[in-house]
Chain A
Amino acid sequence: MYLRSGNTAAAIHTLKRALTQDPDHAQAHAMLAQCLLLDKRLHAAELEARIALSADPEMPLALYALGHISIARRRFAQAREHFEQLIALEPDDPTNHRALAQLEQLEGDPAAALAHLERARAADPEDATVLSDLADLACAQGDLSLARRHAEAALELAPGDADSLISMGKVLLREGSLEEAHHLVVSVLQVNPSHGGAIGLLAQIKARQSPVLGLWWRWNTWMHSLGDGRSIGVLLAGFFVYAVLSLATSDLGLQKTSELVDILWLLLVVYTWVGPVLFMRMIKKELGEVELSRDF
Chain B
Amino acid sequence: MASAELGRRGGDGGGYRIADEPRAGGLVQLTVNPLWPLFAVMFGGAWLSWPWFVVNGWAMGSPTRVRETLFVVAAWVGSVLLLVALLVAGASLPEGGFKYLFLLHILYKLGVTYRLYVWQMRPFQLHQYYDGPVRNGVFMVIAGYLLGERLLLPAAAELGVFVKWVLQ
**Contacts from A to B (Cβ < 8 Å):** 12, 16-17, 19-20, 23-24, 29, 32, 36, 41, 43-44, 47-48, 50-51, 54-55, 228, 232, 235-236, 239-240, 243-244, 247, 251
Contact = CB atoms under 8 A, between A and B. Distances in A.
B103 A244 contact: yes
B134 to A, nearest CB: 18
A41 B20 contact: yes
B9 interface: yes
Nearest to B8: A23
Interface stretch (B52-60, B84-92, B108-116): B108-116
Given A44-B19, A54-B2, 18 more contacts: A12-B18, A19-B7, A19-B16, A20-B9, A20-B14, A20-B16, A36-B18, A43-B20, A44-B18, A47-B6, A54-B1, A54-B3, A54-B4, A228-B115, A232-B111, A232-B115, A239-B110, A247-B100
Contacts, number: 76
Contacts of A244: 100, 103
Given A20-B9, A232-B111, A232-B115, A47 B15 contact: no
B4 A23 contact: yes
A23 B9 contact: yes
**What band does the interface of chain B fall in when counting residues whose beta carbon is under 8 Å from A?**
20 to 34
Contact of B122 (A23, A24, A41): A41
Interface of B: 1-4, 6-9, 14-21, 63, 96, 99-100, 103, 106-107, 110-111, 114-115, 118, 122, 126
B3 A51 contact: yes
A44 B63 CA distance: 10
A7 to B, nearest CB: 14
Nearest to B99: A247
Contacts of B4: 23-24, 51, 54
